[in-house]
Structure 1
Amino acid sequence: MDPALVRLGSMVQNRYKYFRWTKRTARITFVYAAVIPAIIGYLGYQNDGLWDLRAKRRGDIISER
């Protein structure tokens, strides 16, 4: 087997042992755990009820406003 692949597999399995909180990892975690869900929630809230896709036929308007 390729020694580099064996080393990669070992690193992936033991990643939790060598993880450290740094400014970079804290920033990335904050973005994925708070910023992105907040943006998706805001966009969902803004578009709630704006589109009605049920029982539409050709020529009907999608927008309800």
Structure 2
Amino acid sequence: MAELNANRYKYFRWTPRHAWFSFLYMALIPGALGYVAYKTDGLYQLRGKRRGDTIVEW
């Protein structure tokens, strides 16, 4: 088992499952995080707040 783990790159093959995981980690997840960041940009003001103050800026 240790040899298989050390030589994992020799046994790698592109399959539809590997392609889907690669797309998911390289495009879908960063894209979703970027979309959320873009939509909430400037919506919350976190600096200089005290207990009881709201973080939403209208």
Do the two structures share a fold, i.e. TM-score over 0.5? yes
| Gap runs ≥5 in structure 1 | 1-6
Taking every aligned residue pair, what percent have the same amino acid on both sides?
53
| Gap runs ≥5 in structure 2 | none
Moved over 3 A (4+): none
Residue in structure 2 matched with residue 4 of structure 1 by the alignment: none
Is 2:41 the counterpart of 1:44? no
Alignment root-mean-square deviation, CA: 1.0
What's the CA shift string for 1:7-52, capped at 9, x where partnerless? Answer: 1x22111110110001111011101110010000000111111111
Residue in structure 2 matched with residue 32 of structure 1 by the alignment: 25
TM-score, length-scaled by structure 1 = 0.81
